[in-house]
Amino acid sequence: MRVLIVEDDPQLRDIVATALQEHGYETVPAATFSDGRERATFGGYGVMILDIMLPGGSGIQLCEELRDAGVATPILLLTARDTVDDKVAGFDAGADDYLSKPFAVRELLARVRALSRRSSSLAPAVARVADLEVDLRTRRVSRAGRSLTLTSKEFALLECFVLNQDVVLDRATITAHVWDENHDPFTNTLEVLVRRLRQKIDEPFTPKLIQTVRGAGYRFGT
């Protein structure tokens, strides 16, 4: 399961990411309000962890914007401010849980596990596009009844596509979903990955689902 961590303190962000990764979670980091909003609205997360104090805005504001946009992913707010009014503001904005700093990593993991169970009940089990079926929980993929084997990066790219059907996605947006914030979106790594995915889910089948939009990026759909 993928967890978004929006935290401007690099040391704390790394501690949280390492703890989650050691327990089998895939993490996506963001350090600012705008970066967090871009990654959060993109989707594909089981849980989102938002610091309240962020460069460019607040986690409470980001939470509220996401809820207004229809994003139902469980949200855990992190903050050094632990007054009742602060907590009420966070819950009123649509947060699911609230954890005050400093916190024990064990408690953070327990809260993420609880929220991930809630997320599993909200997320669709299988995404379908034409005769392609993608189980977002078990990561099983098939097309026309034929089981397909994908690498973790190929699946991350496919997940990115099926969660944004018929939307033109630019390179930076796709890169943010598949890799981390340090990946250079202007290398040819994305093209290589798209070509590999096409070979598995498109070339032996019709209709073709991955479409290149010249000068803009990629679109996925029939």
- Pair 101, 187 in one domain: no
pLDDT higher than threshold 60 for residue 122: no
Question: Model confidence over 65-105: pLDDT tens digits?
Answer: 999 887 888 999 998 877 788 888 889 999 999 999 889 99
- Check which CATH number belongs to the domain holding 10 and give it: 3.40.50.2300
Tell me which of 122, 155, 189 is where a domain ends.
Answer: 122
Q: Over the stretch 42-60, which tens digit does the pLDDT of each residue have?
A: 767 889 999 999 999 999 9
pLDDT at 83: 75
**Number of domains forming the structure of the chain:** 2
Residues 19 and 111 in one domain: yes
Phi-psi region of 64 (alpha: psi -120 to 50; beta: other; left: phi over 0): alpha
Q: Are 71 and 159 members of one domain?
A: no
Q: Is 83 found in the same domain as 6?
A: yes
My answer on whether 117 and 133 are in the same domain is no
What's 190's domain CATH number?
Answer: 1.10.10.10
Q: Do residue 39 and residue 104 come from a single domain?
A: yes
3-class DSSP state of 177: helix
Query: Of 87, 102, 122, which residue is a domain's last?
Result: 122
Q: Which DSSP category does 165 fall into?
A: T
Is the pTM here over 0.95, yes or no?
no
Local confidence band at 61 (pLDDT 50, 70, 90 cut-offs): very high
Q: How far apart are CA 126 and CA 138, in angstroms?
A: 9
Same domain, 105 and 145: no
Residues 187-199: tens digit of each pLDDT: 788 999 999 999 9
Residue indicated by tokens 């070509």: 195
Q: In the chain, what percentage of residues exceed pLDDT 90?
A: 54
132 and 24 within one domain: no
Same domain, residue pair 111 and 95: yes
3 forms beta bridges with: 27, 47
Domain assignment of residue 14, given as a range = 2-122
Asked if residue 69 lies in contact with residue 43, where contact means CB atoms within 8 angstroms, the answer is no
Q: Are residues 89 and 145 in the same domain?
A: no
Q: Please, are residues 31 and 9 in contact by the beta-carbon 8 Å criterion?
A: no
Q: Which amino acid is at 34?
A: S
Last residue of a domain, which of 122, 148, 178?
Answer: 122
CA separation for the pair 193, 160 (Å, rounded): 13
Nearest one of 66, 43, 45, 39 to 176, comparing CA atoms: 39
| Integer CA distances (angstroms), 15 to 19, 21, 49, 69, 192, in order | 6, 10, 13, 30, 32
> Is residue 71 within 8 Å of residue 40, measured between CB atoms?
yes
